[in-house]
Homo-oligomer: A and B are copies of this chain.
Amino acid sequence: MYRLHCFAQSGNCYKVALMLSLTGVPWEPVFVDFFKGETRGERYRSEINELGEAPVLEADGKRMSQSGVILDLLARKTGKFGPRDEDERAECWRWLLFDNHKFTGYLSVYRFLRTFMKDTEPAVLDFLKARAERAFAIADKHLSKTPFLLGDKPTIADISMAGYVFYPVEETGFDFKATHPAIDAWRERIKALPGWKHPYDLMPGHPLPG
């Protein structure tokens, strides 16, 4: 039984929750009260994750952090959505790094600041939006040539990059359907996979109180 430390508004947590759901392994969520500061507290950092982040996966008596590492582990444990050879492994990690650094990297912070933190300087939002859009342009171009990032089959690279794309337009500020048709079509292909669920149906903590 896997235990996933997570909360509904975190697309980085969703990457792992979605992988668990798509592979059909038994798991249970452990709610992380991010909005009350749990990940910034001493207890969380000393006992759960020194990086102060969610998700954290408990498996075989170990705690693991970083969604990319967890996805790689789950692919090997379940035999699903993993790379099939060394070349695909490099391809997977290329997109996982691109996602963490740029695609999710900018999209997640932009959404967080515009939706959950009301006092952000407009210049900061503009900066993050422009950076996210640069990443979207690269992904949209690539996905116009291939159904999934590595070809015909979905992999953990797709599951990672899908972390934040299912949140409502009102939260993300990005309407992929209108602006990035290849990302939108890819998103629909992921949504059609057996076991897919929306982040707000998969993890605890939604809606926010108040």
A25 within 8 A of B: no
A141 within 8 A of B: yes
**Chain B contacts for A127, CB-based, 8 A:** 121, 124, 127
Contact mask for chain A residues 51-90; partner B; CB cutoff 8 A; 1 contact, 0 none: 1100000000000111011001100000000000000001
Copies in the complex: 2
Contact mask for chain A residues 149-170; partner B; CB cutoff 8 A; 1 contact, 0 none: 0000000000000000000000
Stretch at the interface among A92-100, A175-183, A187-195: A92-100
**Chain B contacts for A141, CB-based, 8 A:** 50
**Chain B contacts for A123, CB-based, 8 A:** 121, 123-124
Residues A65 and B50 in contact in the complex (CB < 8 Å), given A100-B100, A101-B101: no
Please tell me if the beta carbons of B98 and A69 are within 8 angstroms of each other in the complex.
no
A105 within 8 A of B: yes
**Chain B contacts for A97, CB-based, 8 A:** 66, 68-69, 96-97, 100
Residues A66 and B94 in contact in the complex (CB < 8 Å), given A101-B105, A124-B124: yes
Residues of A within 8 A of B (CB): 50-52, 64-66, 68-69, 72-73, 90, 93-94, 96-98, 100-101, 105, 121, 123-124, 127, 138, 141-142
